[in-house]
Structure 1
């Protein structure tokens, strides 16, 4: 089966968050199953091209309609871990030469152009994959363009799947974005098509992807239920109910070639569930790396993008609560929101000289691996969480997650005290209310077990380490989805 993944990200080439890990992990696992996978990406100036093997230009002239003119592009190709990668590079335009992936005022225009360019590449190179798998709002126009413009130009047999990683970003845009890529707003600006349910002046690109795709999924079963039945649907609840026949949730995996403490080259000492005492060496290395004293207290960690979704107010409260409990905390993360960035910069200045807290306001891949390997507990107090990968990674590395019961966190973390699962399947602590009291209750229970019943705490670590969070089962589910849509 020929599967083309279209995304704004793919680790390790271009990664801003979990989407990049998803595309890399699923693509790699599908290739291991014998599928032919191509990943289509913009050619960013920040792309880590040293990770790409045999990079070369394969199509020097790709002509893409843009308003009343055309933009010439080139296409480059390479390979990473057996996965073919194609880069689309618009010539004479700086769309993807901005020193970052997202956060530009013209993001909608940039990714609308990329969406049209992907389909033009498939048409002009006469490549028609069996499955075109699109991701998030940045590629939401591709199913629309396929149906409205390209379906009868040589891509009629192609089937489109659309995965929603975060409904907090839906691509709400004004009509000129549609005209830019050759779409007719008069046909599409209706409630059963692209019209945004919250503002009838705007088109909703994610909504377009949902309406025009053959199958749509979120990245966990719990989140799929939440977006249909609660305010987590962020205005699209009725749309998901309308298209329930082609909608579901598939839990993400983690790439165990990258996230595996038994062979991770980025940590000082490798370890596994049968050699758990070796984790202590990594704990000491983490303290040395961030300048924390060696004391008999647990290390809590936060490895996260810093925004409202991630519960930044609760993270800030946890820092102060854990300081009062004489615990240590290491935070690795950064914020795009200037107000949040300033808030955590002040907090860093307040805590830099403390014996219990270190904030690293950046993203550092090597430090992330060391934090997972060295910390005892990982905090994820998200207001909503489509899937979450850090709780799975933490468990793999013998750290106990403390999470809010939402989305994929609820699907993967089973409370040590209150789960209906047997103890061997319990692996963390869960709280319900996004309040300081709810968070403190979970932290106190986790600390109580660590201090008074270390053997039970050790077993929670081992339970998490032995859980299969790999891409094997999710890849089976996606192959079933692909087979289903090909039969339509």
Structure 2
């Protein structure tokens, strides 16, 4: 099967968060399964490339009309780990993808609307037509709409549309539809792209859901939450309406990158059979961060984007509560929102004198690996969490999660005390309400077990390490989903031909 995955991110060359890891991990595993995989990205000027991995022109050039002006585009190629990457490279005065970063620009909607139109044009004219197109998040939500509007039913490429974060839906003004050659009068209706909260605006994610053949989220629990709770962010009724093509597939992690047995970024490798060696990584983490050697204190870590979704109020409280409870604390994270960035800068300054606290405000890949390897506990107090990779990586490294019972955290963590699962399946601590009291209760239970019952705590570590968090199972489920998308598209084409 020829699968074209379209995304704003793909690790390691273009990564801002979990979406990049998702695309890389799934693409690599699908390629290992014998599928032909093509990842389509913008040609960012900030791509993280080795000198030996420079994109090559493929001799494919075309013009993309945008706001009535034809913009020259070419396709660049790059071979990654078992799959091909195609980069959309426009030559335009707007310099859409020459901003030094992936996101956070005032015209992000314009940039990704252009990208969507360029991708639709590219796959439509490609000599090697994909068997299925896999779009991801709001940045690609216009692609299913463009294909549905411009291709006959029996010519359409089947589309799978994955939702990684419903908190970002792509709310845009109606004129952006005109910019890519769509008709707002036709599409800005309750049955298509009109946003439920403001019908004068288009909702790109809503439109993508309507036009795609199958839709999924990145965990079964999140799929249920966005249909039945406020986590649907205003689209609950829309998800329920499209329930017949809607589901959830839990993410995996890339075990070639996240494996304590082979990880080149940690000083000492270890695994379930050699768990005591983790203590050497804990020692190395303390040395790197300048934490005092303290065998009577667990290390409680946070490795996270610092934004409201991740529960920044609870993160800040949890760090201080952990310190007051006799733990050491370590944070690695960064914030885009100025107020949040300033808040954590102040917290860093306030705690700097403590020999038991270190906050690193930024992102450092090697330090992230060392924190997972050296920490004892990791805080994940998310307000919502579609899947979450932090808990999967942490458990792989024998670091026990303390997390809120939402989304994929619910699907992957069994509480040490309050679970119907057998003890050998329990691997962390969960709390329900997004309150400091609930967080403190879970932290108290975790710290007490670490301090008073070290053998049981080691068992929790081992339970987490022995779980299967690979991409093997998700890749099988996505292959089934792609087959269903192709079947659904054939059924749609057949129904259209009978009219």
Shared fold by TM > 0.5?
Answer: yes
Q: Take 2:126 and 2:52, find their aligned partners in 1: how far apart are those partners? A: 22
Which residue is equivalent to 2:351?
351
Map 1:98-117 to 2 at 5 A: 98-117=99-118
Which residue is equivalent to 1:58?
58
Q: Take 1:119 and 1:210, find their aligned partners in 2: how far apart are those partners? A: 16
Which residue is equivalent to 1:3?
3
Q: Take 1:52 and 1:136, find their aligned partners in 2: how far apart are those partners? A: 31
Deviation (angstroms), 1:50: 1.6
Q: Take 1:51 and 1:326, find their aligned partners in 2: how far apart are those partners? A: 47
Which residue is equivalent to 1:161?
160
Which residue is equivalent to 1:375?
375
Which residue is equivalent to 1:256?
255
- Whether the 8 Å contact between 1:52 and 1:80 is mirrored in structure 2 is no
Which residue is equivalent to 1:398?
398
Q: Which runs of 4+ in 1 moved over 4 A?
A: none
Structure 2: give runs of 5+ residues left out of the alignment.
489-499
- Whether the 8 Å contact between 2:147 and 2:156 is mirrored in structure 1 is no
Map 1:213-228 to 2 at 5 A: 213-228=212-227
Deviation (angstroms), 1:357: 1.1
Q: Take 2:408 and 2:152, find their aligned partners in 1: how far apart are those partners? A: 38
Which residue is equivalent to 1:298?
298
Which residue is equivalent to 1:186?
185
Deviation (angstroms), 1:254: 0.3
Deviation (angstroms), 1:123: 2.6
Which residue is equivalent to 1:280?
279
Deviation (angstroms), 1:292: 0.3
Which residue is equivalent to 1:203?
202
Q: Take 1:290 and 1:175, find their aligned partners in 2: how far apart are those partners? A: 50
The TM-score, its normalising length taken from structure 2, stands at 0.96
Deviation (angstroms), 1:354: 0.8
Q: Deviations over 1:357-401 (max 9, x none)?
A: 111110111110000000000100000000000000000000000
Which residue is equivalent to 1:314?
314
Other structure's SS at 1:487 match: helix
Deviation (angstroms), 1:63: 1.1
Q: Deviations over 1:64-95 (max 9, x none)?
A: 11121210012110111111000011113410
Q: Take 1:9 and 1:132, find their aligned partners in 2: how far apart are those partners? A: 16
Q: Take 2:326 and 2:35, find their aligned partners in 1: how far apart are those partners? A: 52
Deviation (angstroms), 1:152: 3.3
- Whether the 8 Å contact between 1:62 and 1:124 is mirrored in structure 2 is no
Q: Take 1:430 and 1:189, find their aligned partners in 2: how far apart are those partners? A: 42
- Whether the 8 Å contact between 1:13 and 1:52 is mirrored in structure 2 is no
Other structure's SS at 1:37 match: strand
Task: Figure out how many residues of one structure are paired with residues of the other and give that number.
Answer: 486
- Whether the 8 Å contact between 1:52 and 1:78 is mirrored in structure 2 is no
Structure 1: give runs of 5+ residues left out of the alignment.
none
- Whether the 8 Å contact between 1:254 and 1:469 is mirrored in structure 2 is yes
Q: Take 2:54 and 2:336, find their aligned partners in 1: how far apart are those partners? A: 34
The TM-score, its normalising length taken from structure 1, stands at 0.98
Aligned CA RMSD, in angstroms, stands at 1.2
Deviation (angstroms), 1:55: 2.9
Instruction: Give the stretch that moved more between structures: 243-252 or 350-359.
Output: 350-359
Which residue is equivalent to 2:130?
129
